[in-house]
A and B are shown apart, each in its own frame.
Chain A
């Protein structure tokens, strides 16, 4: 299977690999997937004043498309408010990376990771977690 140029680019030069201090109240962490399924994503956001995401980091265990999806997600998150970030849809990732149908689950996982990170931040800061309307599983 051939990968798109954008997947290869993100895979070869992943953006924002790393770890934020998950104990900080400014940081939200989303850990999704399972080792048994062959992909685990950890996505972290650091949120500043006005609920704007100032930093995002990821680490991913998975195939090239999973790594690229999470790398792209961190790029998109920076500078967005957490409300806007909540609107990122997995199909946007599919489109941007030209993921084939068999790899759509990678984008779903990235969306789940974004939402999990935001909700972790919200709960930490006394806000309610937002239930996702979409059912992916």
Chain B
């Protein structure tokens, strides 16, 4: 067992050696520009890209013509939201999304607002799921796009995508999903789920960083997005720029492996995650954040009340995890995702996200349990809040000097 243990697979994943192996020739011998149509170097590169396109499409039940390669999911989200707005703004100027989306979606929506668009940021229920009635009530004849993430990066909750897309379509809007955390982890099918646009990323699924894709539906309806990058008209004119052939080949291979191993991996990881969660929630005053039934198999977000997240991570220095604590971000604000579940700031500050992955072993999980328990107990001994709680003092009755 190698220390430190990596349990932050929602942030990024190590690349699978099989992916690296597939990529290597495309750096050296097969280095051609996939757009070079007039010599074998270009053809070989293009073949690699075409094959990857099929691999990506297959994982999400799409056709290869519907895959646009990008530099990653942030670009895909931007292209989808800004691109749809620019393409369809004559039809309507309203977009609906949720408050728990990734910043790439939220900030792209903010940009659209500056361009004159109207955006509704739907609240979520206490378990992190979208209230379908609230969504339906927000739909208007001007709504051109509904964008709801598939699985949440912080708490792992899986939204009722099929139901959400049905509502969007009922009102004539397109449905887009940031599926970065879900693709490759659980079955995602653009047709069964009614998805018109979908953003995915390679580095979350054991592929390389710097490459992702946007699925853009071609039939029923044929969806178009306005390019956000001007240039040589690559990717059916939707995303100019010389293709990142090794990255794309890696993304394809990563998708293929996920398709083959997802089912058994999901079972293995949810068993390990449940083991971790069950062992840690034995600790007094620990709470699992978000819906536990509709949740990605590898994620557990747990708040250990009366212990501050960053302090806890420092105690658990042999574990690489992340926290919703303010101290981990530059903003000094605790996680907006946890706050939108109605979590109080102190519980948001006390949260730890465990993200298991393909290379996580049971031995590592056992070790993580031991270290976490020990650290929480240690820090509670240091915590004045824990002492007050134990003495039966109501912390809400104290007038805190907010600073």
Interface residues of A (CB under 8 A from B): 3, 11, 14, 17, 19, 31-42, 59-64, 66-67, 102, 105, 108-109, 112, 136-137
Cα–Cα, bound, A40→B398 (Å): 12
B345 partner, pick from A11, A37, A41, A136, beta carbons under 8 A? A37
Which residues of B268-322 have CB atoms within 8 Å of chain A's CB atoms?
306-311, 314-315
A-facing mask of B314-350, CB < 8 A → 1, else 0? 1100000000011100100010000000001110010
A-facing mask of B18-62, CB < 8 A → 1, else 0? 000000000000000000000000000000000000000000000
Cα–Cα, bound, A111→B344 (Å): 27
Indicate whether B403 reaches chain A with its CB closer than 8 angstroms. yes
Give min CB distance, A99 to chain B, whole Å: 12
Cα–Cα, bound, A40→B385 (Å): 8
Cα–Cα, bound, A36→B306 (Å): 11
B402: chain A residues at CB < 8 Å are: 34, 36-37
| B400/A59 in contact, CB under 8 A | no
Indicate whether B383 reaches chain A with its CB closer than 8 angstroms. yes
Cα–Cα, bound, A64→B222 (Å): 54
Indicate whether B113 reaches chain A with its CB closer than 8 angstroms. no
A32: chain B residues at CB < 8 Å are: 401, 403
Give min CB distance, B110 to chain A, whole Å: 25
| A66/B311 in contact, CB under 8 A | yes
A36 partner, pick from B311, B346, B384, beta carbons under 8 A? B346
Indicate whether B382 reaches chain A with its CB closer than 8 angstroms. yes
In the complex, the chain B residue whose C-beta lies closest to that of A59 is B384
In the complex, the chain A residue whose C-beta lies closest to that of B329 is A102
13 contacts between A and B (CB under 8 A): A17-B381, A38-B310, A38-B326, A38-B346, A40-B400, A41-B384, A59-B382, A61-B306, A61-B384, A63-B308, A63-B325, A108-B403, A137-B403
Q: For the complex of A and B, list the 10 residue pairs with the smallest distance between their C-beta atoms, beginning with the closest.
A: A34-B400, A35-B346, A36-B345, A42-B384, A63-B310, A59-B384, A64-B314, A38-B349, A63-B327, A61-B383
Given contacts A38-B327, A40-B384, contact A33 B395 (CB under 8 A): no
Give min CB distance, B265 to chain A, whole Å: 33
Indicate whether B387 reaches chain A with its CB closer than 8 angstroms. yes
A14: chain B residues at CB < 8 Å are: 382
